[in-house]
Amino acid sequence: MRVNSNDPEKKEVVTRRAALLGGGFSLLLAGVGARLFQLQIADYDKYQRLAQENQFNTRIIAPLRGEIVDRFGATLASNRQNFRLLLMPDEAGDVEAALERIRRFVEIPEDKHARLIREINRTRGFAPVEIVNNLEWDDFSRINYELPHLPGAHPEVSETRNYPLGNATAFVIGYVGAVTDRDLEAPDNEDQQLLLRQPGFKVGRDGLERTYEKELRGVAGAMDVKVNAHGRVIEEIDDSTRPPVQGETLGLTIDADLQLAAMKALEGESASAVVIDIETGDVLVLASTPAFDPNIFTKGIPTDLWRELNESPYKPLLNKPLGGIYPPGSTFKMVSAIAGMRAGVSPSFRVRCNGKFWYGNRFFHCWRKEGHGSVDMRSSLKLSCDTFYYTLATQLDVDLIADTARKLGLDQTFELGIPGQHSGVIPDRAWKRRFYAGTPENQTWFPGETLSVVIGQGSVSATPLQLAVMAARIASGKEIRPRIVRFRGDLELPIPNASRLDLKEEHLNLAREGMYAVVNEPGGTATRSAFDNRDWKLAGKTGTSQVYRITNEERARGLTKPEDLPWARRDHALFVCFAPYESPRYACAVVVEHGIGGARMAGPKAKEIMTAVMTKDPARLKPLSPGALAQGADSVRRG
């Protein structure tokens, strides 16, 4: 069939339809044009703003953490340059392979490796991750040289926390550690998210670093940067920089020299020592041994070290001066003596000690089996005669003893700013009711229990800090409150106003005289702790608190000497003291765990520490004033 290819009818249809199609196309194209108008003209401002936001980003500049200095400006916590290596997971591509390449230059332990992978997964690969820090300069420069072969690797110099005194200040200052999810969620940190998410940013984990986190952290600076679609910075806009503000300097009452001296005196023991300036309440020494090195903790605690510290019987993670509680033993006898006088017992009241005291249905033993003979109140302290106090106990109400103890600083915590303080226990009737709340039949206070309380045993317990405060209060007659922060930033913190104690001066004075006799009179329990310099007079009290009672069976086997017991069952050794006796300025408490005897173990260490204190006599020296560091920080720090 032959078709007329130029059939006019076909041409007519096509022309008509083409016109329709052309019209339709024109309409659609007009629609496109209208949309273009909407985007480019009508909504221009909106998209212009979005484009700007796309282009610019704010980069956080982490502030330097505030320094912590001792009372004379010696650095206790500062910032040190830290060479570290970051990894941008999205640049690295295969993260495992990238880590493998980096491992050729620096060591990454297996557990750290696993932690890194977890962190990269958590941040979904968008945030840089710190691979290693505190690199040696040699390693750091080698990595820089090999950088072209390490995609995603970013070497960086940052600041890291440094504690020059190491373990000596571990329990005062604490340490800083990596930011956790809990930190991010804390309400205080709501506006700090960007800063906290900076790679390697650290926050205070313990001690003053933790308590004063807000003050020490400082204020983040910022800089506008031009970024590309991947968030990579391609230009820094210098004139947009808002510089960061360093955190406030924390000025402590601690004396670094004396702190080190105390650490040295306690070395090898599980012990603590506290020295307080009696006038001001300034804590000069707060020592705890053994201690950990916060410089290691700041880098991330290796698992095996953590386990070792946790499992050690010497409890190197326990802040013993604040959190260690011990039966005060005979150091409690000043409290009992003062309570006795408050109850109307005369200082001249005499007791005949023959080594044991019958009460109820059993004997209470004096520490001296042979007895002390005739003992008055003053010599009861000097000789630490238990029989005297057993007798006193029969005339005393336990609530009055407890009240006296509280007046002298026991059974309470103080506002030091260091977490982990324990209040200890001073038993009285109310305490017993609370303690046995579930079993009313056990709530009655028995007079026999008071016999344990007067010699600082039974349920009585106190922290070394409380014992030092007790010595300071006895010596001064004032309600001394310890403090450890002198100033923060430019703000000098006032010395707490110490009112007079609600105790009679003559009662306190007898306790002081007794303590003087302990050290300075023949027959005193701590005569070997007298200062070598005879011009200085120390007044003190020994204490030996029983940890384990030797059974009759053990006694029968010939086990009588405490040295024969395993370490953990030996008695604690305690000593509280103040000096100089005539015009008391420094109070001190030393507790040596399982040190067998206060006179043997704690007294000599207290003497060593107090000799250092008396020699330096820090109260005589002008402490650093808040503004001084800002002007000549370097010179002061070295001085």
Partner 1 sequence: MASIILPGPRRGLQDQIGRLHWPLIIMLSLIAGAGVVTLYSVGGGSWSPWAGTHAFRFAVSLGVMIAMGFIAIRYWLALAYPIYFVALIALALVPFIGDVNMGARRWIDLGPMQFQPSEMMKIGIVLALARFYHGIRAEQVSHILYLAPPLVMIGAPVGLVFLQPDLGTAIMIGATGAAIMVLAGLSWRLIFLGGVAAVGGAIAAFRFGILHDYQLKRIFTFLDPDSDPLGAGYHLLQSKIGLGSGGLVGKGYMMGTQRELNFLPEMQTDFIFTIFGEEFGFVGAIGLLLLYFAVIMTGMNIALRARSHFARLAALGICVTFGLYVLINAGMVMGLAPVVGVPLPLVSYGGTVMLTIMAGFGIVMSAHLSRDPDGASF
Which residues would be at the binding site for partner 1 (CB under 8 A)?
A: 3, 5-7, 9-11, 13-15, 17-18, 21-22, 25-26, 28-29, 31-33, 35-37, 39-41, 43-44, 46-48, 50-51, 54-55, 226-230, 234
CA–CA dist 465, 479 (Å, integer): 14
Torsion of CA 258, 263, 266, 267, to 10 degrees: -140
| In the complex, least distance from residue 437 CB atom to partner 1, rounded to whole angstroms | 57
Which of 10/307 has CB closer to partner 1?
10
Which of 25/567 has CB closer to partner 1?
25
Which of 33/243 has CB closer to partner 1?
33
Which of 224/277 has CB closer to partner 1?
224
Contacts of 405 (CB under 8 A, 6+ apart): 332, 335, 411, 426, 460
| In the complex, least distance from residue 225 CB atom to partner 1, rounded to whole angstroms | 12
Q: What letter represents residue 348's amino acid?
A: S
| In the complex, least distance from residue 42 CB atom to partner 1, rounded to whole angstroms | 9
| In the complex, least distance from residue 46 CB atom to partner 1, rounded to whole angstroms | 7
| In the complex, least distance from residue 26 CB atom to partner 1, rounded to whole angstroms | 7
Q: What is the DSSP letter of 40?
A: I
Taken as a whole, the chain contains a residue count of: 639
| In the complex, least distance from residue 126 CB atom to partner 1, rounded to whole angstroms | 11
Q: Is the distance from CB of 259 to CB of 72 less than 8 angstroms?
A: no
Which of 31/243 has CB closer to partner 1?
31
Would you list the DSSP string of 467-492?
HHHHHHHHHHSB----B-EEEETTEE
Number of helices (H), then strands (E), in the chain: 26, 21
Taking alpha carbons only, the member of 523, 527, 530 closest to residue 607 is 530
| In the complex, least distance from residue 124 CB atom to partner 1, rounded to whole angstroms | 11
Taking alpha carbons only, the member of 404, 270, 393, 399 closest to residue 339 is 404
- Locus of tokens 């006898």: 333
Q: Tell me the three state secondary structure of residue 7.
A: coil
Which of 106/227 has CB closer to partner 1?
227
Which of 93/447 has CB closer to partner 1?
93
| In the complex, least distance from residue 56 CB atom to partner 1, rounded to whole angstroms | 10
Q: What is the CA radius of gyration of the chain?
A: 36
Residue 456 vs residues 43, 330, 466, 481, 636: alpha-carbon distances, Å: 82, 6, 14, 22, 45
Q: Tell me the three state secondary structure of residue 131.
A: strand
Q: What letter represents residue 630's amino acid?
A: A
Which of 37/363 has CB closer to partner 1?
37
Which of 24/313 has CB closer to partner 1?
24
Which of 229/556 has CB closer to partner 1?
229
Q: Is the distance from CB of 577 to CB of 541 less than 8 angstroms?
A: yes
Q: What letter represents residue 211's amino acid?
A: T
| In the complex, least distance from residue 4 CB atom to partner 1, rounded to whole angstroms | 8
CA–CA dist 190, 169 (Å, integer): 31
- Locus of tokens 């956790």: 180
| In the complex, least distance from residue 93 CB atom to partner 1, rounded to whole angstroms | 17
CA–CA dist 380, 389 (Å, integer): 8
